[in-house]
Chain A
C-alpha cells in the first residue's frame, strides 16, 4: 500500500460528458502527477502539480485540466469526453524539492469507460 488513494475506482460516462477524478496524496508529499494508461500501453504523462501550480504537461489537449489543493490532494477534470478517453487514470505523489523527479508512489487508478 502506497497511501495514495483514488476515487472512484470505476466510472462509465457517455461521449460529450464531463468527469472529475480525485486523488489523495501520500502524507508529506507535495507533488502529484496524473497519467493515462490505455489497455496494453505504458502510462502517458498528462501533467504534474507542485505546491498547487502546474509545472509540467504532456501532449494532452486543454480539455484535460487539473487542480491541486492546499492539502496536496488533487483533481483531474476531463471535458467533452471522447471514446478514446477510455483508459486507466493513475495519479502518483512524490516529494519534490528541485527540478528533478523523485520516486513516485502510485494510487490504484480509476478505470474510465466512455460509451
Chain B
C-alpha cells in the first residue's frame, strides 16, 4: 500500500483563491517532497522539507510538516489557471535503503 495519502482526491477552485492539499503517511521519514504533474507528463519538483523542519516557502507555495501527526500540507496562494495539475507528496521512509513512496495525488482544477 502507498505510504502517502493525499486529501482531497480532487479540488476545484476559482482563480485567485487559495488551494490546500494534505498528505498523511505511515512511517517515520527523512524528508517529504511535493511534486506537480501536468496531464500525465513528467513530475516537477516543488519543495523538499526535511524531518527537522516545520515550514518552508517557495513563491506562492507554503509547505508544513507535522511529524507527530505524520502529515504535511501544501498551500498554493492566489491560484492561477496554470496551477491546474495533479499534486503528489512523496516520502523518503527512515527504514533503511532508498525507496521513495508517492501518494495517489490531488487533482487540482483552477477555473479562470
Contact = CB atoms under 8 A, between A and B. Distances in A.
Interface of A: 2, 4, 31, 33, 35, 37, 39, 41-45, 48, 50, 55-58, 88, 90, 92, 96, 99-109, 111
A108 B38 CA distance: 10
Nearest to A55: B98
Given A42-B104, A109-B42, A102 B48 contact: yes
Given A90-B42, A109-B41, A104 B31 contact: no
B25 interface: no
Interface residues of B, number: 25
A108 B39 CA distance: 11
B35 to A, nearest CB: 8
B105 A42 contact: yes
Contact of A2 (B42, B92, B97, B105): B42
B98 A50 contact: yes
B100 interface: yes
Given A45-B101, A100-B31, A103-B45, 14 more contacts: A31-B98, A37-B40, A41-B104, A42-B2, A42-B4, A42-B88, A42-B104, A44-B102, A45-B102, A56-B98, A56-B99, A99-B97, A101-B31, A106-B35
B67 interface: no
A56 B30 CA distance: 15
